[in-house]
């Protein structure tokens, strides 16, 4: 469960997803998804592969444009804007990818500082200081001058989290952040994410790590066939799901990824 700072005393609305539809080549992968994300909240999205989870996340920061529906960041609509304004929104919506997508030609600290310099127009010294601070926060202060190829998968993912955090986003999106990692490297990334959640970062996380979901999520959203089938706090969803489908899916996940109570 969350620490006291993570509790939602006053519900401040950060993100609204309203009736998002998206089709690819005639196949509708998102069929009207809506949910709200409040400040300091962690939402975990689960669901079978190929059911539009990543697409949904990419719709939130407009890397994919939804066919229908709107996204709101606080009281501003993100959708239906010109590219320049979308770039401003993206600065406030951090994103972490499944396959890291670190910039191959830059060492860790430059990966973190480049957007500060090129997007926020920060001075080089100040950007370097901020980047080092973020790297230390994810436990990689000593690896600052290593290139992506010299880092392990878990370190790469932590650099990419630091890179997103450096922009001081209002909300962080995680697209299966541990799926490309060796089992023994998953823990270090989840550890960083747990710490973020405890510190009150607002997060939307696609993951199949049920231990993580159990300990951090305020709400779990089960997506199936492009629709939000069921959602609720982990205690409810894990132990008294409304639908048989949800129960079966969670059963499969725990079978594959271990016990629900495996992580504390």
Partner 1 sequence: MINLEFFLEILFPSLLEGFIMTMKLICWSIPIGLVIGIIIAIGRVYGNVLVSFFSKAYIIFFRGTPLLILLFILYYGFPSIGIYLSPFVAAVIGFVLCSSSYHAEYIRGAIQSVRSGQILAAQALGMSKLSAVLNIVLPQALRRAIPGCSNEIIYLIKYSSLAFMVTCIELTGAGKIVASRYFTYTEVFLVIGAIYLMIVSLATKLLNVLEERASFPGWENKK
Q: Which residues bind partner 1 (CB under 8 A)?
A: 61, 63, 83-84, 87-91, 93-95, 97, 99, 101-105, 107, 114-115, 118-119, 146-150, 160, 163-164, 167
Residues in the chain: 264
Say how far residue 36 (Cα) sits from the centre of its chain: 15
Name the one residue in this structure whose structure tokens are 């990689």: 140
Angle of helix 108-118 versus helix 124-137 axis, rounded to 10: 130
In the complex, least distance from residue 170 CB atom to partner 1, rounded to whole angstroms: 13
In the complex, least distance from residue 166 CB atom to partner 1, rounded to whole angstroms: 9
As given in the structure block, the two tokens for residue 188 are: 């270090």
Q: At 132, is the secondary structure helix, strand, or coil? A: helix
Q: Count CB atoms within 10 A of the CB of residue 34.
A: 12
Which helix or strand (DSSP H or E) is residue 155 part of? helix 153-165
In the complex, least distance from residue 122 CB atom to partner 1, rounded to whole angstroms: 13
Q: Which is nearer to partner 1, 61 or 194 (CB)?
A: 61
In the complex, least distance from residue 94 CB atom to partner 1, rounded to whole angstroms: 8
Q: Which is nearer to partner 1, 153 or 232 (CB)?
A: 153
> How wide is the angle at C-alpha 220 spanned by C-alphas 240 and 45, nearest 5°?
135
**Rounded to an integer, what distance in angstroms lies between the CA atom of residue 192 and that of residue 199?**
11
In the complex, least distance from residue 26 CB atom to partner 1, rounded to whole angstroms: 23
> How wide is the angle at C-alpha 184 spanned by C-alphas 182 and 190, nearest 5°?
95
Given a contact cutoff of 8 angstroms between Cβ atoms, the answer to whether 193 and 202 are in contact is: no
In the complex, least distance from residue 45 CB atom to partner 1, rounded to whole angstroms: 17
**Rounded to an integer, what distance in angstroms lies between the CA atom of residue 118 and that of residue 257?**
40
Q: Which is nearer to partner 1, 2 or 110 (CB)?
A: 110
């Amino acid at each position: 469960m969350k620490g006291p700072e993570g509790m939602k005393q006053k519900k401040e609305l950060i993100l609204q997803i309203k009736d998002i539809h998206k089709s690819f080549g005639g196949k509708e992968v998102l069929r009207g998804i809506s949910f709200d994300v409040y400040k300091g909240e962690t939402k975990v999205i689960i669901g079978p592969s190929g059911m539009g989870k990543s697409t949904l996340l990419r719709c939130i920061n407009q890397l994919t444009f939804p066919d229908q529906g709107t996204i709101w960041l606080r009281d501003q609509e993100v959708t239906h804007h010109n590219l320049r304004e979308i770039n401003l929104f993206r600065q406030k919506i951090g994103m972490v990818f499944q396959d890291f997508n670190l910039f191959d030609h830059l060492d860790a600290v430059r990966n973190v500082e480049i957007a500060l310099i090129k997007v926020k127009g920060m001075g080089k010294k100040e950007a370097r200081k901020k980047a080092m601070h973020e790297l230390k926060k994810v436990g990689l202060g000593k690896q600052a001058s290593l290139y992506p190829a010299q880092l392990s998968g878990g370190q790469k993912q932590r650099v990419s989290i630091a890179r997103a955090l450096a922009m001081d986003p209002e909300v962080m999106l995680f697209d299966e952040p541990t799926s490309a990692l060796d089992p023994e490297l998953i823990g270090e990334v989840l550890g960083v994410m747990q710490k973020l959640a405890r510190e009150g970062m607002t997060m939307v996380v696609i993951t199949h790590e049920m231990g993580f979901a159990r300990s951090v999520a305020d709400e779990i959203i089960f997506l199936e066939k492009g629709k939000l089938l069921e959602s609720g706090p982990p205690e409810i969803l894990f132990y008294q799901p409304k639908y048989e489908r949800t129960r079966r899916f969670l059963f499969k996940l725990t079978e594959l990824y271990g016990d629900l109570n495996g992580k504390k």
